[in-house]
Copies of this chain bind each other. A is one copy, B any other.
Amino acid sequence: MVSFECDYIAGAHPEIIKRLSETNLESLPGYGMDHYTASAQQKIRKVCGCPDAQVELLVGGTQTNAVVISTMLRDWEGVIAADSGHVSVHESGAIEYSGHKVLALPGKDGKIEAPALKRFLERFYSDVTHDHMVFPGMVYISYPTEPGTLYSKSELEAISEVCREYSLPLYLDGARLGYGLMSRSSDLTIRDIARLTNVFYIGGTKVGALCGEAVVFTKGNRPEHFMTSVKKRGALLAKGRLLGIQFDTLFTDDLYFRISRHAIDMAEKLKDIIREKGWEPYMDSPTNQQLILMTEKEMEALGKKVVFDRWGINDDGRTIVRLATSWSTGEEDLEVLREV
């Protein structure tokens, strides 16, 4: 059996395990005050081209979204997100748990469109009853999106421009950031993202780490007393070293980008196999996740050798199957798939 179930089936990149092992008995202060965390923060600031950015390490994606959104929104505000966005659908209501509404905007292939965003905002402010509504206080996008699509540079610039016009912080969920940036279709760099957003996170969990997401407040705009707010949400890791060492490793010698590129190379080969097999794509994806439509019978056959994910249900009743590559996918895994 090989697994293409998701991009978090393996542990950590071996280099990370090695570093965790080597540093294991070193005495370090807790709560992110250790020098590995400081080093990781410095490397991330550098790769983002943001000397004044603040970098904070958190444990997981939903946690990161909840912490960032709820500490940046003001009482009367909610967060705009695509209706298919992770915060809209797949976080068990974590944003609402913080007392804030997710203002769902109909997306297209997982993406918000700048004109639709602008229209939404214009309508909100021209509605005379808007004091009885939830004010838009932030825009959330994901890159890549949940179904694996990408914003082009011009699309992101357009969204960023609307946000600036309405003084809304733009937040980019980069749970799979590496796989997006290394996609052959991407025309964005991490510096572009840092420039065009107010805050974003660099996903570790799905890109080589055991756990961990690095939040970048790109304009020195980290909320006041952030550590206390993180603790209040049960999200402060005592042994911050676990996050610091991982991100320090990922941002040494471009490891994060190298392993992301590998996942994309594997995804391109996976697409070839999908074509060879005649499997029907649900949609075209330029990143590490490929979505295909399958009947129960086809899934039964596939399931004999391959672990995959039932990502959703298509309008015609077929299942949307997700096959994901990652930093840990090997050529031999693809060969098994080719042979099913």
Binding site for B on A (CB under 8 A): 1-3, 5-6, 8-12, 14, 17, 20-21, 23-30, 59-67, 70-71, 74-76, 78, 89-94, 96-102, 104, 123, 126-129, 131-135, 205-206, 210-211, 223-225, 227-229, 231-239, 241-242, 307, 310-313, 328
Establish whether residues A92 and B239, one from each chain, have CB atoms under 8 Å apart when the complex forms: no
Establish whether residues A237 and B59, one from each chain, have CB atoms under 8 Å apart when the complex forms: yes
Establish whether residues B92 and A134, one from each chain, have CB atoms under 8 Å apart when the complex forms: yes
Interface of A is mostly: loop
- Min CB distance A132 to B, Å, is 5
Q: Please name the residue on chain B nearest to A3 by beta carbon.
A: B27
Q: Can you report 6 residue pairs joining A to B where beta carbons are below 8 Å apart?
A: A61-B238, A91-B232, A135-B225, A211-B242, A234-B234, A234-B235
Establish whether residues A60 and B234, one from each chain, have CB atoms under 8 Å apart when the complex forms: yes
Establish whether residues A6 and B25, one from each chain, have CB atoms under 8 Å apart when the complex forms: no
Establish whether residues A132 and B101, one from each chain, have CB atoms under 8 Å apart when the complex forms: no
Query: Assuming the A-B contacts A94-B231, A234-B233, are A14 and B10 also in contact, with contact meaning beta carbons closer than 8 angstroms in the complex?
Result: no
- Min CB distance A99 to B, Å, is 5
A160 to B280, CA, bound (A): 39
Establish whether residues B6 and A27, one from each chain, have CB atoms under 8 Å apart when the complex forms: no
A14 to B128, CA, bound (A): 31
**List of B residues within 8 angstroms of A100 by Cβ:** 93, 96
Establish whether residues A63 and B97, one from each chain, have CB atoms under 8 Å apart when the complex forms: no
**Which of A61, A127, A132, A312 has the most C-beta atoms of chain B within 10 angstroms of its own C-beta?**
A132
**List of B residues within 8 angstroms of A28 by Cβ:** 9-10
Establish whether residues A236 and B60, one from each chain, have CB atoms under 8 Å apart when the complex forms: yes
Q: Please name the residue on chain B nearest to A122 by beta carbon.
A: B313
**List of B residues within 8 angstroms of A312 by Cβ:** 127, 129
**List of B residues within 8 angstroms of A74 by Cβ:** 224-225
Q: Please name the residue on chain B nearest to A134 by beta carbon.
A: B93
Which of B27, B70, B242, B307 sits near A9, CB closer than 8 Å?
A: B27
**List of B residues within 8 angstroms of A3 by Cβ:** 27
Establish whether residues A129 and B90, one from each chain, have CB atoms under 8 Å apart when the complex forms: yes
- Min CB distance A5 to B, Å, is 7
Query: Assuming the A-B contacts A2-B27, A128-B310, A307-B27, are A93 and B232 also in contact, with contact meaning beta carbons closer than 8 angstroms in the complex?
Result: yes
**List of B residues within 8 angstroms of A205 by Cβ:** 238-239
Q: Please name the residue on chain B nearest to A62 by beta carbon.
A: B234
Which of B64, B102, B234 sits near A67, CB closer than 8 Å?
A: B234
Which of B89, B135, B234, B328 sits near A66, CB closer than 8 Å?
A: B234
Establish whether residues A94 and B30, one from each chain, have CB atoms under 8 Å apart when the complex forms: no
A12 to B210, CA, bound (A): 14
Establish whether residues A11 and B210, one from each chain, have CB atoms under 8 Å apart when the complex forms: no
A138 to B14, CA, bound (A): 44
**List of B residues within 8 angstroms of A12 by Cβ:** 24
Q: Please name the residue on chain B nearest to A311 by beta carbon.
A: B129
Query: Assuming the A-B contacts A11-B20, A17-B21, are A232 and B97 also in contact, with contact meaning beta carbons closer than 8 angstroms in the complex?
Result: yes
Q: Please name the residue on chain B nearest to A59 by beta carbon.
A: B59
Establish whether residues B131 and A227, one from each chain, have CB atoms under 8 Å apart when the complex forms: yes
